[in-house]
Structures are given as C-alpha cells and as structure tokens.
Structure 1
C-alpha cells in the first residue's frame, strides 16, 4: 500500500475538523505526498479547478448540504473518489451509486481498502 500512495496527491472534503485532521494524518502515514483538505463545497470546487489530484474522499454531507456538485467536478476532472458518511449511504444519487462508500467511523484498514480500490483501477 505504501507504494500505491507514495507521491500521490489526495483531496479530502470533510467539514468536521477533527475527522479531517485524522484522515490527513492517516494518509500522510501511508505515504501520500500531499493531502489537501476542504471544508466547504465552494472551497473543494476551487481546489479541484486549480490543482491536480490523484484521488479524493468526499463527505456526502457538508453542514447539511449534499456534495454532489463536488462529485460532479471530480468526475469531470477524471479524479477517482469515494464518498464517506456517517449515514447509511443508501441515498446516493443515481449516477454515483457505483462509487465506493466509506462508513464512519472507520479504521486505518478501511481507508487503505478504499484507496487501494480507487488507485488500482
């Protein structure tokens, strides 16, 4: 896994700062060269438009707003991504039901599995 994430640039879209910091630390420990966090939809879209990412993890709900605009921007730029959610994940919009979903709370191994799936395919 270290080789798979080594040198990779990852975007993490998450509005809970403690969760964001935890994910950033986990990904850095797994060898990512850069982990960029975004806490709002507008911030995430601006980052996607201005930077290149190898993969992304996208909280489905940022402060009560579904993040499909961010998912659309990632898809347009060809960035593989997974959703993360504390909910069931059953309400994923058509067109994105095939995306992997990481259920919160999660462990390191769950994060590894998601990014292995995203970056190996």
Structure 2
C-alpha cells in the first residue's frame, strides 16, 4: 500500500489490538487506525481515507455490523475477525472471516486481498 490510506482495526480487546499492531509492524506496514467500538469506528470511517479494515464481529455488547455496512457503502474492502460461532448476515456473507487466534499469514493474506481490489 504505497498511498497514505491506512487500514482500520476494529477490535475491543486491547491486547489483541496490540498484537495486531505488532503484526502490521512485522509486515512492514503503516500503523493501523484503531477503534474499540462501532461509534469510534464510524467516526474514523467518516474522517479518514481507508485502504481496508479488519472488523471484529463482537465488540463488547454490540456487533460490528454497522461498521461493516458503512465500509460496504463506501466501497472499502474489509474482512471480519471473530473468536468463532458467529453467523454473518447475508449482505456480508461473501466477506473473508479470520478466526482467532490470528496467524500473521492470515492477516497478510487479507491485506493483500484489499490491495488487489
């Protein structure tokens, strides 16, 4: 990703967020924008040009569907992340799902998919 757009990480678990930032660093990628809730993520989506996003389905007591809808409306590629057991709504059933625990190869593959779109 040679332009100045960043990847958005939407993850409510601070330790997992830190691990993902470390993976971006290991992949020699710019530090991602980070949000821990739908509200924070929607504000970033509105304010910042993004190259893609990784959206945790379970954000505390809420689901990441509003973020997914906002990204889709803007044509921003994204993948879901989950600990498992989630049913993705039909509108987003074609999106990639990366399950925890994350492997750096899975993160890298998802980000390469964003660049290809």
Q: Same fold (TM over 0.5)?
A: yes
The aligned counterpart of 2:100 is 104
Does 2:4 match 1:26? Answer: no
CA contact (8 A) 2:81 2:99 kept: yes
The two structures have a TM-score, normalised by structure 2, of: 0.91
Instruction: Tell me the matched-pair count.
Output: 116
- How far apart, CA to CA, are the structure 2 residues paired with 1:100 and 1:65? 20
Does 2:6 match 1:9? Answer: yes
The two structures have a TM-score, normalised by structure 1, of: 0.88
Structure 1: which 4+ aligned runs deviate by more than 3 Å?
5-8
Which 5+ residue runs of structure 1 have no aligned equivalent?
Answer: none
Give how far 1:6 is off: 5.0
Q: 48, 66, 69: which one pairs with 1:51?
A: 48
- How far apart, CA to CA, are the structure 2 residues paired with 1:43 and 1:13? 9
Does 2:56 match 1:64? Answer: no
Give how far 1:65 is off: 0.9
Which 5+ residue runs of structure 2 have no aligned equivalent?
Answer: none
State the Cα RMSD in Å: 1.4
- How far apart, CA to CA, are the structure 2 residues paired with 1:13 and 1:86? 14
CA contact (8 A) 1:10 1:32 kept: no
CA contact (8 A) 2:56 2:81 kept: yes
